[in-house]
Amino acid sequence: MNSARTKFYRDKANGKWMGVCAGIADYTGLDVLWIRLAFVVSTVCGMGFVPVIYFALGFLSEKKPASLYADAREQKFWQGVRQSPARTAREVRATFRDIDRRLAEVEAFYVSSNPRLAAEIEQLR
């Protein structure tokens, strides 16, 4: 999974300050509000390492490319890949099985109504 779509990026376009929380939200598929809230709560509760990690991510991570996703559907797909690659692979396999089933139904419809075509298909097998 070395695709550019599976890397972590700072999201300056949707970010408030450095884009780290927006980048985490984009990477995980969670709402950015909850990420920001968790950051503020953990900082207020005395976890002093959280701002250090924030600044480290802000300075070390790359800015999100503008044309990373074609549309919202593609963004949702890649967020699913990052969260659970196995589940995404199962969903893709299920989609292909559904397409194959529907294609078989279309083939069966045309073959059953056309005996000459059915004979030619059987001859090819």
Sequence-ordered list of residues with C-beta below 8 angstroms from that of 14, at least 6 positions apart, any chain: 22, 25, 26, 32
Inter-CA distances, 53 with 2, 20, 61, 78, 122, Å: 24, 10, 11, 25, 65
**By CB neighbour count within 10 A (0-12 exposed, 13-18 middle, 19+ buried), where does 68 fall?**
middle
Whether pLDDT at 5 is above 60: no
User: What pLDDT is stored for residue 83 in this prediction?
Assistant: 64
- Per-residue pLDDT reduced to its tens digit, 71-88: 767 767 766 666 666 777
Q: What pLDDT shows up at residue 97?
A: 92
The answer to whether residues 19 and 63 touch, using CB atoms and an 8 Å cutoff, is yes
The residue among 35 and 75 whose pLDDT is bigger is: 35
How confident is the model at residue 124, as a pLDDT?
86
Instruction: Indicate the angle between helix axes 115-124 and 85-113, nearest 10 degrees.
Output: 130
Please, are residues 39 and 21 in contact by the beta-carbon 8 Å criterion?
yes
Q: Would you say residue 102 has pLDDT above 80?
A: yes
Q: How far, in Å, CA of 23 to CA of 36, rounded?
A: 11
Candidate from 20-29, 31-40, 107-116 with smallest mean pLDDT:
107-116
The pLDDT of 43-67, averaged and rounded, is 77
Q: Residues of the chain with pLDDT > 90: what percent? A: 6
